[in-house]
Amino acid sequence: MWPFSRKGGSGFSSSSTAQQVTDNIDATGLTAVVTGASSGIGTETTRVLALRGAHVIMGVRNMNAAKDVKEAILKEIPSAKVDAMELDLGSMDSVKKFASEFKSSGLPLNILINNAGIMACPFALSKDNIELQFATNHIGHFLLTSLLLDTMKNTANTTKKEGRIVNVSSEAHRFPYPEGIRFDKINDQSSYNNWRAYGQSKLANILHANELTRRLKEDGVNITANSLHPGAILTNLFRHNAAVNGLINVFGRFVLKNVQQGAATTCYVALHPQVKGTSGKYFSDSNESKTTPHGTDADLAKRLWDFSINLIK
């Protein structure tokens, strides 16, 4: 990553790492769920939250990979509290099972980090017959959040500590289909574009956090919901595009963030006192940032909410 990045109002920049943005923050007593925690920024987010004292539950598809991650974290941080539970965001049954098992554990929930995602994959349908990127990146997280919200509300009430919901979006939200969300053509294979479909799903992450903010404020609940762009990062998200993947591997280390920098904004929004009381905002490089007109469209957010409710029924 370029070493000459400018610091924003938070005091952090694109080159800040997750450890740096959480320096001197004590997360002891907090419980966090991190989806997609067995690789990339999900793993680093888990490690840093555990380093700061939080009990982290990794929601993962690959339990063997999660076992390796847990062992590596415990080797580095013997006092870390990290557990793994199976979670496939592309399957509503899997999401329901995860939520049910989490609630049965009796654990509190202070922080929910909706991090998992797939990017620009060829057209496919999820197990519930929804276009796979929209299903995995948005609907799975929408359902998970809905199912865990009561636990978060109870935790916030009992502990008197602010709950935080963090949606990992992307600058790709700037390039969805022209209408933003194609409510009538979600599963239309003939006009499917893998990158626009990805942009659509990432726009949905922002709109979800915004409408959630409105509803939480209406209910007077001490929980915030924000979205963020982690930065262009060296991860396996590019695996579905061989040409891009090749370029990334050659030039990426000069212009992209490493994983430690990529997890910074997530950890900042999840833990930093500067973000206390802030909700319905979009962050980039550990600073508040601006989204597109689509990303601040309250009517579009409400319509997406209703559309998503119908899909998860």
Confidence of residue 264 (pLDDT cuts 50, 70, 90): very high
pLDDT the model gives residue 242: 55
Tell me what the pLDDT averaged over the chain comes to. Answer: 93
The pTM of the full predicted model, rounded to 2 decimals, is: 0.93
- Half-sphere exposure (Cβ direction) of 155: Cα atoms closer than 13 Å: 22
Q: What is the CA radius of gyration of the chain?
A: 18
pLDDT the model gives residue 253: 46
- Write the CA distances from 222 to 124, 278, 286, integer angstroms: 38, 11, 22
pLDDT the model gives residue 3: 47
pLDDT the model gives residue 256: 85
| Residue 74 identity (one-letter amino acid) | L
pLDDT the model gives residue 2: 44
Confidence of residue 254 (pLDDT cuts 50, 70, 90): very low
| Domains recognised in the chain with CATH numbers | 20-312 (3.40.50.720)
pLDDT the model gives residue 6: 84
Angle between helix 298-312 and helix 194-218 axes, rounded to 10 deg: 100
Calculate mean pLDDT across residues 2-28.
90
| Residue 94 identity (one-letter amino acid) | S
Calculate mean pLDDT across residues 271-281.
98
pLDDT the model gives residue 243: 53
* pLDDT exceeds cutoff 50 at 124: yes
pLDDT in tens, 229-242: 999 876 554 554 55
* pLDDT exceeds cutoff 60 at 293: yes
Calculate mean pLDDT across residues 130-144.
98
pLDDT in tens, 31-62: 999 999 999 999 999 999 999 999 999 999 99
- 127 or 256, higher pLDDT: 127
* Beta strand 163-168 pairing with 55-60: unpaired
Torsion of CA 60, 54, 203, 11, to 10 degrees: -140
* Beta strand 55-60 pairing with 81-86: parallel
The catalytic residue positions are 192
Calculate mean pLDDT across residues 182-206.
98
Q: Which two tokens stand for residue 300?
A: 């579009």
